Structure 1
């Protein structure tokens, strides 16, 4: 989606969950603002008329006067609040309709555009591979290619590994002398501290996704290659993969290995990497039948 397209009020309003901007949208704040003094006068006048016709000591009339008096103040205040809120909303729609965005809105638009491009690239790549054609090759100078290896994708993705680890903690203890209550309190504090430390250590030792970082991702006809922190290049060959889980709707690819920790990649270009990985590990037929890629078929 281009910036010119985003300049139309309807498209922008839909992107940010609002109504399309039109000039008559200003009625949404003008009407409640005008109604504020009208309701104040109306309820105040009604209260005055009721007070003129009320008999002395008439409780029902007194309660009605109080209700009208309260309404004369509360309803206009509520109307002014509604007018202010709607004025801010309409102003935002008008500003976006003219192509002016805040930094947060621009970041949101850029992220959605990148997501759309990434998904479109995955759809086109799948169609190309199903037509028994190869995507364009790219030249990579950082990594030495293997025999017959060609690269198709050079991008960035969030990188995770799944593993547990050994965690130790120090048990606290103390020697307490004094009144029984003091000794009991000290022993109880030690027990609580040791229990908390043990729970924290146990949680840290559990297998979970770790090492999250932004990594450079290369995809070839033989492997996935990630450049992680420290500039290290890690290779994940398709021939070593024992399981592949492409989740293109969540922009995620998970792979498992016999002799290495599972790998998860996430990012706007990961669906395209997932398509290539499925093709290289499961064959051409899997492009049309793998449930993890099924949603791409509806976008053809």
Structure 2
């Protein structure tokens, strides 16, 4: 799929190598080595020219290939989003009609006694928090040539500035730990597989819930824990189910953000 990109890169490398090799043989021939070195230089120069002409062609073909790949990914994503939204609408209609989902058998996560899983899907995961920031100022005393002293002071100041910037970035609250995760929705909680560990989020601990099926995302706030964001093409089904678990049928029927799923 990336054949033209690899050929473009290869032709550029061949052009560069043959160019410098030709220069080396020209230098050898000028030092008195004679005709063989000049012939080698001419041969390498020809290879360099051919590679120089081929590189733009391969570059154009690589750009076209990349554009087709991006378009294919866009079409696949749009299809996945439509499918996810349709599944969310079907689940909402089922629950509003008084229907129930069949429990799933899930492997990996161990459920509690009498706990049942109803959804098992992939989603993108993030948490909103800031880290504890630490900053250590470094001072230096320099002796010797004035130029060396000035360079030492400048490097120390630069190092301190980098550490201050890193400390500010660590302290800033933002969405962190972003990754793709497996999400299991049970009748009691959401279970997410993050960095090889299962993390549990009980519906009863949710203090605020922000479902957005149009943007295929949901944010959960908790008492004493960092907010959780889940997003991706399959989110409409999860939004429908978690709304049902958190707000009941009234939430499915009346929540303004769920209008597109009704």
| 1:165 corresponds to 2:131 | yes
Q: Structure 2: which 5+ runs fail to align?
A: 1-66
Specify which of 124, 145, 156 is matched with residue 122 of structure 2: 156
| 1:246 corresponds to 2:211 | yes
Report the more deviating stretch, 170-179 or 157-166. Answer: 170-179
TM-score by length of 1: 0.59
Specify which of 85, 89, 96 is matched with residue 123 of structure 1: 89
| 1:261 corresponds to 2:226 | yes
Q: Which protein has the larger Cα radius of gyration, Structure 1 or Structure 2?
A: 1
Alignment of 1:178-189 (within 5 A): 187=153
Q: CA deviation at 1:198?
A: 0.7
CA distance in 1, matches of 2:113, 2:210: 27
CA distance in 2, matches of 1:229, 1:268: 21
TM-score by length of 2: 0.66
Paired residues, what number?
196
Specify which of 175, 178, 181 is matched with residue 209 of structure 1: 175
Q: CA deviation at 1:120?
A: 0.7
Give the structure 2 partner of residue 146 of structure 1.
112
| Relative contact order, higher structure (CA 8 A, sep 6+) | 2
Q: Structure 1: which 5+ runs fail to align?
A: 1-100
CA distance in 1, matches of 2:151, 2:180: 48
* Secondary structure of 1:250 counterpart: coil
| 1:287 corresponds to 2:247 | no
Contact 1:253 1:271 (C-alpha < 8 Å) held by counterparts: no
Cα deviation per residue 1:181-220 (whole Å; 9 max; x = unaligned)? 9867754654454234212211122222111111111112
Cα deviation per residue 1:204-259 (whole Å; 9 max; x = unaligned)? 222221111111111122111111212x2211111111111111122111111113
Give the structure 2 partner of residue 92 of structure 1.
none
Give the structure 1 partner of residue 42 of structure 2.
none
* Secondary structure of 2:76 counterpart: helix
CA distance in 1, matches of 2:113, 2:232: 29
CA distance in 2, matches of 1:221, 1:145: 10
Cα deviation per residue 1:5-26 (whole Å; 9 max; x = unaligned)? xxxxxxxxxxxxxxxxxxxxxx
Report the more deviating stretch, 184-193 or 116-125. Answer: 184-193
Bigger strand share: 2
Q: CA deviation at 1:173?
A: 2.1
Specify which of 105, 116, 124 is matched with residue 71 of structure 2: 105
Q: CA deviation at 1:115?
A: 0.6
